């Protein structure tokens, strides 16, 4: 009976232990539990007045109001971060790289650079990200988005919380039609999550999107594990009661 009790305790502790195994480079906080997603929310400080169609990450057209929320529920952590994004009137499932391509959170240079909503952390990954950023804006033949790219490290405050970030600032060279792309992106060095984004351009229809991180909401206990733990506890209590009765 003593051995049975010890076994039940070990199993219960295992079930309640948080999931910490993630692919190299991604913050453990981003990994979804079995049935609960990690939720990341941003405040939409500015958005286009016109609806913009999704091409890479979905098939809808989205339009959002100022001071609304953009929400990304992380469902998969791998080479790309998969999940469900809600922005304005639209909700769709994709990965954060394709979402970045649709929302112009990056530079479509000869060397594409779309870091997405979340980047991989660690010195090596940040250095690779930095090198790709500069390559995307390089003034070479065939690069129609050549321009100036600058990066720096610094503190960024979003909704009252300070983050130690890598900050990218891109300015496209003058264009013959419309307005050049201007994009600033800041990523938290601890979680890899995008803290701020300010991107704009015009190719006939003005586009401007400004986002500020509201928070990262990590589930502490997966409800599935909770119910399994309760079930194991009830079985243990029942087993002890039956043994006592038989004695």
Domain boundaries, the chain: 19-220
* 95 CB neighbour count, 10 Å cutoff: 20
pLDDT confidence tier of residue 144, bands split at 50, 70 and 90: confident
Inform me whether the pLDDT recorded for 22 exceeds 50.
no
Q: What is the mean pLDDT of residues 62-74?
A: 97
- 177: which DSSP letter? S
What is the per-residue DSSP string for 175-205? -SSSEEEEEEEEEETTT-BEEEEEEEEESSS
Give residue-wise pLDDT tens across range 155-211: 999 999 999 999 999 999 999 999 999 999 999 999 999 999 999 999 889 999 999
Least confident of 23-27, 56-60, 163-167: 23-27
Residue 63's Cβ-count burial label (10 Å; 0-12, 13-18, 19+) is middle
The Cα–Cα gap between 80 and 116 comes to 9
Domain 19-220: CATH class, spelled out: mainly beta
């Amino acid at each position: 009976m003593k051995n049975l009790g010890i076994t039940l305790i070990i199993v219960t502790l295992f079930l309640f232990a948080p999931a910490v195994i993630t692919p190299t480079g991604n913050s453990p906080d981003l990994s979804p539990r079995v049935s609960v997603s990690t939720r990341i929310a941003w405040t939409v400080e500015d958005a286009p007045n016109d609806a913009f169609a999704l091409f890479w990450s979905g098939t809808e057209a989205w339009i959002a109001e100022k001071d609304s929320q953009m929400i990304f529920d992380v469902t998969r952590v791998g080479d790309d971060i998969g999940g469900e994004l809600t922005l304005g009137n639209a909700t769709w499932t994709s990965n954060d790289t394709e979402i970045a391509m649709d929302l112009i959170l990056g530079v479509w240079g000869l060397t594409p650079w779309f870091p997405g909503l979340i980047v991989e952390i660690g010195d090596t990954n940040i250095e690779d990200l930095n090198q790709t950023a500069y390559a995307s804006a390089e003034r070479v033949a065939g690069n129609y988005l050549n321009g100036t790219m600058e990066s720096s490290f610094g503190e960024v405050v979003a909704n009252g919380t300070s983050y130690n970030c890598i900050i990218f600032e891109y300015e496209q060279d003058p264009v013959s039609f419309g307005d050049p792309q201007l994009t600033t992106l800041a990523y938290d060095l601890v979680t890899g999550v995008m803290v701020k984004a300010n991107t704009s351009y015009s190719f006939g229809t003005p586009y401007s999107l400004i986002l500020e991180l509201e928070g990262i909401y990590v589930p502490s206990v997966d409800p599935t594990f909770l119910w399994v733990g309760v079930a194991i506890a009830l079985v243990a209590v029942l087993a002890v009661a039956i043994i006592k009765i038989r004695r």
